[in-house]
Amino acid sequence: MGAALFYHLTQGPVDQTAPTLLARALKQGWRVAVRGTERQKLEWLDEKLWLGPEEEFLPHGLEGGPQDALQPVLLCEGPPANDPQCLMCIDGADAAPEEVARYERVWILFDGHDPAAVERARGQWRALTGAGCAAQYWSEESGRWEKKAEA
C-alpha cells in the first residue's frame, strides 16, 4: 500500500517541483502518470519539461500519442495508459483511495498562494485519510521541504 504525499508549493511553482520528484521516481525504476485537469496546462508542463538542461532530461509524453503505453512519464487527464507505479496530481486533479492503495506513491501538488487550491487539498486530505490511506503533508515555507504532518 502506498501513501499520498501532499506538497504545499509556496516557494516554487509546479514546473520546478515536479521534475525533482519525477527524477527520483525514474531512478527507482517507476513509471509515473502526471494527472492534470486541463489539456492546456499539461501542454505547458510538457513544454517546461522539454526546456530543462540536457543532463536532467526526463523522458515523457503528452497523452494522445501512439506511444502512450511506453512512456516513463505520461501527462494525462484521465486514467493513465502507461501502467504507472506512481501518480502525480496537479492543478486540483483527484486521486482516489484505490489509487493510493495501488501505487507506490501518489503526489498531490498544490499552489499555496491559491486559497481555493489549499481548500481543495484539505478536502482531498480528509477524503483520503478518512478512507484509511496513509498521507504526509510537506511544506516548503522555510525554504526547504519539511514533513509537517502524517496520518
Residue-wise DSSP of 104-126: SEEEEEEETT-HHHHHHHHHHHH
Instruction: Measure the CA–CA gap between 140 and 145, rounded to whole angstroms.
Output: 4
Average pLDDT over residues 50-54: 82
Binning pLDDT at 50, 70 and 90, where does residue 1 land?
A: low
pLDDT per residue over 112-132, tens digit each?
Answer: 999 999 999 999 999 999 999
CATH of the domain at 53: 3.40.50.10110
In this structure, are residues 89 and 108 in contact, taking their beta carbons and an 8 Å threshold? yes
Is the per-residue pLDDT at 52 higher than 80? no
How many domains, in total, are found in the chain?
1
- Which domain range does residue 56 map to? 3-150
- For position 55, what pLDDT does the model report? 83
